[in-house]
């Protein structure tokens, strides 16, 4: 079974909620309960519930007459379509539609998928996220709605991220190996690596910075090896120090970047004592 996209799942659920309301509108027992709810709330349901007393009464009437039907939030009474308040299936449908015009994502029940609790995980970059899920829904619909809920929260908290497979680090590793050298090969300068790989010197410099950061000072390594933690001075291409912008070798960066690059060596030394 193919999974629905988040937009398709959201659209389908909105239609599902409206369809459920249309079915209830033709149930005379539900209409009687709805009428009792509106009468019991009195004027409080037709204006802002600024009075805590009115708010409590409305909440009590909802629990008594609506929640047994799965209705948590009925349409706003101020949006009733006619001067005549006689409750009919047609008027109930138009009432709902007017609310949907005011609030595009309006639903009468609890959200089908929503985050119930978020807490820290065992590792710094991990979180435990609990979801409240309506299990009466088809699994493809649940997965689509879950994707939308998680993506909206994630982008709000951490900003947009690339989708799909991770970006290749082949160039970064190749640059790092050429610049740092090995037993078989001598170290090369950034211009020499740029010439060998047919790249701009600035591209090689940035690739080295990216690789050096990822290899030497991952957050988990810093926490496990030492309590010291230096602030990332940022990309070398944005550094105000001319030494970074004009660096031709691994040891030609400014003091801040050199210290940041090399803090893993000190951490390992502390760890091995």
Task: Kindly state the tokens that stand for 114.
Answer: 């929503």
261: left (phi over 0), alpha (psi -120 to 50) or beta: alpha
pTM of structure: 0.56
pLDDT in tens, 36-82: 888 877 544 545 545 567 778 788 888 899 999 999 889 988 888 88
Q: Are 103 and 71 in contact (CB under 8 A)?
A: no
Q: Residue 1 pLDDT more than 60?
A: no
What is the distance between the alpha carbons of residues 224 and 74, in angstroms, rounded to a whole number? 53
262, two tokens: 């090399």
Phi, psi of 38 (to 5 degrees): -65, -40
Yes or no: say if 104 and 125 are a contact pair by the CB < 8 Å rule: no
Encode pLDDT of 180-231 as tens digits.
877 667 888 889 989 988 999 888 888 888 888 777 654 444 444 444 456 7
Task: Please list, in sequence order, all residues whose beta carbon lies within 8 angstroms of the beta carbon of residue 127, skipping any fewer than 6 positions away.
Answer: 118, 119, 120, 121
Quick one: angle between helices 190-197 and 201-216, nearest 10? Answer: 110
Q: How far is CA 133 from the centre of its chain?
A: 17
Contact 45/38 with Cβ under 8 angstroms?
yes
Question: Per-residue pLDDT averaged across 104-124, rounded?
Answer: 85
């Amino acid at each position: 079974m193919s999974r629905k996209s988040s937009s398709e799942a959201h659209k389908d659920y909105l239609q599902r909620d409206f369809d459920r309301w249309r079915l209830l509108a033709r149930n005379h027992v539900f209409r009687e309960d709805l009428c009792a709810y509106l009468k019991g709330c009195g004027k409080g349901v037709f204006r802002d519930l600024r009075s805590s007393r009115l708010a409590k009464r409305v909440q009590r009437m909802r629990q008594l007459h609506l929640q047994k039907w799965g209705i948590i939030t009925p349409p706003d009474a101020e949006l009733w379509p006619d001067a005549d308040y006689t409750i009919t299936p047609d008027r109930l449908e138009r009432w709902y539609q007017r609310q949907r015009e005011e609030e595009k994502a309006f639903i009468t029940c609890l959200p089908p998928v929503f985050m119930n609790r978020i807490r820290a995980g065992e590792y710094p970059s991990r979180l435990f996220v609990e979801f409240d899920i309506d299990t009466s829904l088809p699994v493809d619909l649940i997965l689509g709605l879950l994707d939308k809920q998680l993506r909206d929260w994630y982008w709000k908290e951490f900003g947009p991220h690339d989708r799909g497979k991770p970006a290749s680090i082949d160039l970064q590793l190749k640059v790092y190996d050429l610049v740092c050298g090995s037993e078989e090969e001598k170290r090369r300068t950034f211009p020499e690596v740029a010439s060998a790989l047919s790249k701009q010197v600035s591209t090689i410099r940035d690739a080295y910075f990216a690789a050096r950061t990822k290899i030497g000072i991952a957050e988990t390594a810093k926490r496990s090896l030492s309590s010291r933690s230096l602030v990332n001075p940022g990309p070398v291409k944005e550094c105000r120090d001319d030494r970074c912008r004009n660096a031709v070798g691994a040891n030609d960066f400014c003091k801040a970047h050199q210290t940041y690059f090399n803090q893993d060596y000190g951490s390992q030394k502390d760890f091995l004592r």
